[in-house]
Amino acid sequence: MAIAPDANRLQLLREVAGTKVYDEKKQESEAILAETGMKIELILIEYFWMFCHRGTSEENSGFIKSY
């Protein structure tokens, strides 16, 4: 350990301290949040489209009712 390169010592220290697991879980959580944000955005777009096009024609009204 005393003669190991700094990068190896830092990696070992992070593993022992548990920060490596924390960083991995943080990245996973951030990916899930980004995916959820995109889904919310798509839902809002669909909602506003339906809101703006409600009752404009019989065809659209039937579509919205079936949705």
**Residue 5 near residue 12 (C-beta atoms within 8 A):** no
Is-above-0.75 flag for pTM? no
Domain-by-domain residue ranges, the chain? 6-66
User: Two tokens at 65?
Assistant: 């009712």
The CA distance from 59 to 61, in Å, is 5
pLDDT tens for the chain, 67 residues long, are 677 788 888 888 877 877 778 888 999 999 999 999 999 999 999 999 888 877 666 555 566 566 5
* Residue 22 identity: Y
